[in-house]
Structure 1
Amino acid sequence: MARQIFRFGAALGAAIALSASIHGSPARSQPSAPLKLLILGDSLSTSLGVPEGYGFGPALAARLRADGYRNVEVFNGSMAGDTTADAATRLASTPQQYDADVVIVELGGNDMLTQTEPAVVARNLDWILDGYKKRGTRIVIGGMLSKPELGFVYNVTFDQIYPKLAARWGASLYPFFLAGVFGHPALMQDDHIHPNAAGVARIVAGIAPLVERNLDAAAGRRRVAEAR
């Protein structure tokens, strides 16, 4: 499995350093060892179909760096075509590869497209989230919505998966990963499924505040542990 790693250097420009000293950038209070942010998803969170450097991983890394999060490593463990079952199998076989301080779980779109029973999707995601919660990992869920043509019952049952799991595990929920992007031709690729570079930028703008709050929480936990 190819993993993309985007590491921020310790040095930023003088203007950013000055801003951090004045405004109390969260990067200033981060622990000495880099925090690990893992993206666990499918093709929506890979770089599929967009120019190099404009996929979700590098775009999110750039946003975090611009916001002062200098001491973070972003690992993209997403795999195009993955279902929730595929991701769970990968986690079970090589769990050490997917350890993180914060994880973004963006899965379920391929299950929905193949009309997998919502109960199966929920069970797979529940297993994934349970594992991360037990390890003390902060969780951000990138939710998915079902296509209207799948019918009312499927729509309602599937769409309830993500808020229910977020509430159960105390995870941060971004209700629809493609919010503000899906259905907008200027932000989508020609397949009408995947975001283009502009669409990725829109996703990053929407989800970044949730990610940053969880990085802050993870940094705080790390500082407490280091002080003991």
Structure 2
Amino acid sequence: MSFKAALGFFASLAITALLSVNAARAEPVKLVGFGDSLMAGYQLPATDAFPVKLEKALREKGYEVEIANAGVSGDTSSGGLARLDWSIPEGTQGVILELGANDALRGIPPEQTEKNLDAMLTRLKERGIAVLLAGMLAPPNMGPDYGERFNGIYRRMAEKHGAALYPFFLDGVVTKANLQLDDGMHPNSEGVDVMVATMLPAAEAFIKSIPAKE
């Protein structure tokens, strides 16, 4: 083989390898939004649910991503733990984990909530699935003692398991009636837009931290 032919051959191999790498990275990152009614999109059209709107926002920023909605209205951390394994399919690369709001509303001991989140994070880590933990705050009517015990759960769990942390899922919405449904608890469509815009930088950083499939 002549030098020119050999050079062409190896150049062709390099281009093929580069195209293969780019094709592999072009595969969508598969995420699951796992949570309660705040994730599910309570009383909203399916297209207005948080995972759907976050996926759209990320795609508009140039990210190839698919986000499945595994939110169940009324779910507690115990309910989430019970359904975790079958709700998170094989091939999932990352989970946005949002649970605990209903625990606080029902006055479930924060220690139980923490135990359940700990178990979920452990299982996901064992499966090699990255987690963005979406935090929650206890309602003020639960009192300062309950709030102190509950509000520190998410940071402790993120630090323990090396998970990414988004401190408060309802950031920018919780005190604004125009962004909530009439129940004063759940976001309306405009509220979901605010939640998505506020979380977007954290979601981008989370996606960048997930290794590309080999």
Counterpart in 2 of 1:73?
Answer: 66
Return the index of the structure with the highest Cα Rg: 2
SS in 1 for 2:75: coil
Deviation per residue, 1:59-88 (Å, 9 max, x gap): 111101111012x22111111110000011
Contact 2:138 / 2:147 at 8 angstroms: preserved in 1?
A: yes
CA distance in 2, matches of 1:46, 1:96: 15
The answer on 1:183 being equivalent to 2:175 is yes
CA distance in 1, matches of 2:189, 2:34: 19
Q: 1:55 is matched by which residue type in structure 2?
A: A
Contact 2:154 / 2:167 at 8 angstroms: preserved in 1?
A: yes
Q: TM-score, normalised by structure 1?
A: 0.80
CA distance in 1, matches of 2:185, 2:24: 37
Contact 2:52 / 2:69 at 8 angstroms: preserved in 1?
A: no
Percent sequence identity over matched residues? 37
- How far residue 50 of structure 1 moved from its aligned partner, in angstroms, is 2.1
- How far residue 51 of structure 1 moved from its aligned partner, in angstroms, is 3.2
Alignment of 1:166-205 (within 5 A): 166-205=158-197
Counterpart in 1 of 2:79?
Answer: 86
What CA RMSD, in Å, does the superposition of the two structures yield over aligned residues? 1.8
CA distance in 2, matches of 1:122, 1:29: 40
Deviation per residue, 1:185-222 (Å, 9 max, x gap): 1111100010001110111111121122121121xx23
CA distance in 2, matches of 1:56, 1:96: 17
Unaligned runs of 5+ residues in structure 2 are 1-21
Counterpart in 2 of 1:6?
Answer: none
CA distance in 2, matches of 1:167, 1:132: 15
Q: 1:53 is matched by which residue type in structure 2?
A: T
Q: 1:200 is matched by which residue type in structure 2?
A: V
Q: 1:192 is matched by which residue type in structure 2?
A: G
Counterpart in 1 of 2:49?
Answer: 55
Match of 2:124 among 127, 132, 141: 132
* Residues 200/29 of structure 1: CA separation in 2 closer, same or farther (3 Å cut): farther
* Residues 52/33 of structure 1: CA separation in 2 closer, same or farther (3 Å cut): closer
The answer on 1:159 being equivalent to 2:159 is no
SS in 1 for 2:97: strand
Unaligned runs of 5+ residues in structure 1 are 1-27
The answer on 1:118 being equivalent to 2:118 is no
Counterpart in 2 of 1:14?
Answer: none
- How far residue 99 of structure 1 moved from its aligned partner, in angstroms, is 5.4
Q: TM-score, normalised by structure 2?
A: 0.84
* Residues 204/96 of structure 1: CA separation in 2 closer, same or farther (3 Å cut): closer
The count of corresponding residues between Structure 1 and Structure 2 is: 193
The structure 1 segments of at least 4 consecutive aligned residues displaced by more than 3 Å after TM superposition are none
CA distance in 1, matches of 2:139, 2:173: 15
Contact 1:178 / 1:203 at 8 angstroms: preserved in 2?
A: yes
Counterpart in 1 of 2:92?
Answer: 100
